[in-house]
Every structure is written in structure tokens, then in C-alpha cells.
Amino acid sequence: MKVFVAVKRVIDYNVKIRVKPDHSDVDLTSVKMAMNPFCEIAVEEAVRLKEKGVATEIVAVTIGPKAAQEQLRTALALGADRAIHVETDERVESLGAAKALAKLVEEEQPGLVILGKQAIDTDNNQTGQMLAALTGLPQGTFASAVDVDGEKVQVTREVDGGLQTVELTLPAIVTTDLRLNEPRYAKLPDIMKAKKKPLDVKTPADLGVSVGSRVKLVKVEPPAERQGGVKVGSVDELVDKLKNEAKVIS
């Protein structure tokens, strides 16, 4: 079974985000970039399926600028067999990404598509669901466990009330949650081998889709600075501050 894994280039989660002086966007100058953490979980799950003998081939795919090939090489070092880069310098939103992925799914015919449930830069949590709608494939979102058995896959989902297990008929789409697995680190020999693995470059035009943004980014503001807390000497003083200063009670 061929497994398709989508990955995204984002600012490393350890980096403190800076806003440009003109507030037009986030400042990416000299900022460390990395694979989206939820995408790392997706790659890890695909590799584990291959180690179990369920998957025969893992194809990693990303949509973004030329620099995003770095994240594809990381996926190859972690165990993907080949990669596809849909190269574009446009701001890619969820629907544009889903359209490009849908065309690749149509071409590649994978048995399973795995995506991170969301990217930590936009937090939209949309691409997997949109891809399922465009392809007409069944979906299991927020997966904390994935069990492939023949032509079926059981996905244990994290929902508000606890856990829910759904059974999907392959081919299907799965989006990963945090507790699905713990991603491994790429070993140096695997990083070197990844440089020789095939990486195919396409453009949105090659796929016959447009990934351009339909939303105009007007302004970016940093979060408000948090103020330090204060100690109170009594319950009466606490109530007074909540009522007269914070104005959260009446």
C-alpha cells in the first residue's frame, strides 16, 4: 500500500515570533524554519506502518517555496521513499493546498493519506477535511491511534467527550493528533542517504490548479504583553480587585 504524507514548512516552535515594523506580516528574516510538528507525527505514523509491513511506499509532499525542500529532505531522512514538491512563492491557504493535494492523490492513487491535523502557523485545521471533500474519500480526523487491517482502517479520534473509534474503507484520509506517536530523530547516515532519494518538482500550473490566496492579510499585531500578578492579603481584597479593577464581577 502506498502512503501519502503531506508536510509543511513553518517557523520552528521554539522560536519567538517577531512582527515586521510595518505590521504587514511575520518577520522571517534569519528565522529558523522546521517541519510542522503535526506533520512530523504524520511522517512517523507512515514510517511505522511501513515497518509493520502495511505500507510498501511512502511519498512525502509539500506545497511552498523552494526552501521547503529542506523539510522534504527531512521526511526522506525519517523514512519516506520519495518526495514531491509543488513549488510556489504564493501564500498558500488551506483550500489551495487541498486542491493541489487532490490532484496528486488522483495521479498517485495512494491507499492512505496522512496529514497533521493543523499547522502551528495558521492553526486552521482545514486541509485534511477539504481534501476529503474534494476527493470523496472517507476521513478520520484527530487520530490518536491508527490500525490498518486489510481494506479497512480503524481510527481512534480525540473528541470533546473522550475517544471515538471509526472504521474507514481504504483509500482514506487521516489527520493526526498529538498523542498518536512520538516522532523519531533522523540519523546522520539517513540524512546523507536522503540526498540521493528522488524529489520531483512540480508547479500548481502542472497540476492545473491555482493556490493563490483568496484572503488579503491586512495587518499583523503581536499579542499584548502580560502584566505581572499581584498578591492580596485577604479574600475581601481579592473580591475588591476583581470587582473594581479587573471588573470581572459585579
* Residues 185-209, mean pLDDT to the nearest whole number: 94
Domain assignment present for 58 = yes
Asked if residue 12 belongs to a domain, the reply is yes
Domain count, the chain: 1
DSSP 163: E
* CATH code of 28's domain: 3.40.50.620
Query: Does 250 map to a domain?
Result: no
Q: What is the pTM of this model?
A: 0.86
Is 106 a member of any domain?
yes
pLDDT at 224: 81
User: How would you classify the pairing of strands 82-87 and 152-159?
Assistant: unpaired
Q: Please indicate, yes or no, if residue 181 is contained in any of the structural domains.
A: yes
- CB of 114 within 8 A of CB of 42? yes
Q: What percent of the chain has pLDDT over 70?
A: 100
Range of the structural domain that residue 129 is part of: 2-244
Is residue 190, in this structure, part of any structural domain at all? yes
Q: Using an 8 Å Cβ cutoff, are 211 and 90 in contact? A: yes
In whole angstroms, what separates CA 209 from the centre of its chain?
21
Q: What is the pLDDT of residues 77-121, one digit of tens each?
A: 999 999 999 999 988 999 999 999 999 999 999 999 999 999 999
Of the candidates 38, 85, 28, 35, the one whose C-alpha atom is nearest the C-alpha of residue 60 is 85
Q: 188 in a domain, yes or no?
A: yes
- 249, part of any domain: no
